[in-house]
Amino acid sequence: MNGSLIWRIVGGVLNVGVVLLVAPLCQGVLRKVTARVQSRQGPPLLQPYFDLLKLLGKEDIESGETPPMQRFAAYLSLATVLTVACLVPMGFVAPMNGVADIILLIYLLTLCGICTLLAGLAAGSTYSLVGASREMMSMITLEPLLAIALIVGAVHTGSFRLDTVLNGSVYETNGVPWSGLIMLVVMILSFQAFVQRVPFDISEAETELMEGPLMEYSGPKLALFKYAQMAKLVIYSALFVRMFVPWGSQFVFPLAGLVFWAMFWAKVLVVVLLVTLVAATHARYRIDQAIRFFASLFAVALGALVLASYGY
């Protein structure tokens, strides 16, 4: 028992540490690749680290209508994301395995969106309120997609355990895993929205809403929010890898484990690159167009859930 507790602590620290360390790097890769696509030089790969440091060192200004809520939203947002990091097996077993299950995971992921909502409400300006309402609308239609994907896995394996479900469980049927394949397509189509990138960065739309909910943020609080968003990209990519392409990244003991661990992160990087390329080659959708798109995906996902419950 003690042994497993130590493993958990080590795993948790490792996951959180790696996410914190890798997230700005992924952002750097994203910016560099975007720049290349756009025939630009682009910032140095390490620029996001410096950006964060710079923001963290700035004066902490209280602004907006309810500054305490604004502060709380920024803290909560990074805290939530890092908690999620402890729930997802990232090359190792999930540190919180057995203590938490996928239901908690779904709740925490929703909480991430709620932080943006809180931020928008705290600012109280028209633009941030519009941003908050857009965030809410897309959250309502978007979150069920991921939940269904997880539940399809749970149905196949008959378990809510993190390491069981987050291990390609969507494919675990006797024949062709129709439901899993459908969910794969659904998730690919909606992935940009989960990580809030173009074409679905609607709630922040710089040219329409001037960053929407984040418009009153500056200095350290903005750094936390930005950090959370970068981490979100990594964590969702990790989730995607664990759910749909887990092969070759299971936890095996020491030496082989290291190779698999590296392979896992390589796959995460590939997902990040794909996100970048899609973002660089699309225009932003309007909220009504996006919602209609999510709604049709939701219908398809429900179909997959029905298939899953019949064992396909």
Partner 1 sequence: MIAREMFEEFKARFGPLIERADLPSDRRLFVFVDRSVVKFVCQHIFRELDARYVASIGTDDRPFSGKFLVAHNFAFDKDHVLCSVLTQLPENDLKIDSITKMVPAASWAEREMRDLLGIEPVGHEYLKRLVLPDGWPEGKHPLRKDVPWNEVPESYNEDNEFKFDETPEGCTVVPFGPFHPTLDEPAHFRLYVEGEMVRGCEYRGFMVHRGIEKLAESVMSYNDIPMLAERICGICGCVHSVAYVQAVEEAAALKPPPRAEYIRTIMLELERLHSHLLWVGLACHIVGFDTLFMQSFRIREPVMWIAEKISGNRKTYAICLIGGVRRDITHDIKAELRVVLDKLESEWRPVVSAVSKDRNIQKRTCGVGVANKLLVKNLGLLGPVARAAGVEIDCRHDHPYAAYDRVEFDVITAQSADVWGRVVVRMNEVFESIKIIRQCLDKMEDGPLQLEIKDELPVGRMGLSSVEAPRGESHHFVITGENNRPRRWRVRAPTYQNLQGVPMMIKDQQIADMTISLGSIDPCFSCTDRLETIDLRSGTTKVWSQKELLELTWAKTKTMTK
> Which residues of this protein are in contact with partner 1, per CB under 8 A?
34, 37-40, 126-127, 130, 133-134, 198-199, 201-202, 205-208, 210, 280-289
Torsion-angle region of 217 (φ positive above 0: left; ψ -120 to 50: alpha; else: beta): beta
To partner 1, the closest distance from the beta carbon of 217 in angstroms equals: 16
Which is closer to partner 1, CB of 18 or CB of 198?
Answer: 198
Tokens of 174: 């006797």
212, 134 in Cβ contact below 8 A?
yes
Which is closer to partner 1, CB of 189 or CB of 245?
Answer: 189
Which is closer to partner 1, CB of 200 or CB of 260?
Answer: 200
How many other C-beta atoms can be found within 10 angstroms of the C-beta atom of residue 7? 14
**Cα–chain-centroid distance for residue 150?**
14
To partner 1, the closest distance from the beta carbon of 138 in angstroms equals: 12
Which is closer to partner 1, CB of 30 or CB of 183?
Answer: 30
Q: What is the dihedral of CA 138, 139, 145, 147, to 10 degrees?
A: 180
Which is closer to partner 1, CB of 110 or CB of 133?
Answer: 133
Among residues 221, 222, 203, the alpha carbon closest in space to that of 213 is found at: 203
- Distances from the Cα of 304 to the Cαs of 111, 139, 298, in angstroms? 25, 20, 10
109, 115 in Cβ contact below 8 A?
no
Which is closer to partner 1, CB of 93 or CB of 205?
Answer: 205
The string over 79-95, giving b where at least 16 C-beta atoms fall within 10 Å of a residue's C-beta and e elsewhere, is ebbbbbbbbbbbbbbbb
Which is closer to partner 1, CB of 42 or CB of 257?
Answer: 42
Helix, strand, coil shares, percent, the chain, to 5: 75, 0, 25
To partner 1, the closest distance from the beta carbon of 37 in angstroms equals: 6
To partner 1, the closest distance from the beta carbon of 34 in angstroms equals: 8
For 158-253, where are the alpha helices, taking DSSP H only? 162-165, 178-194, 206-209, 219-244
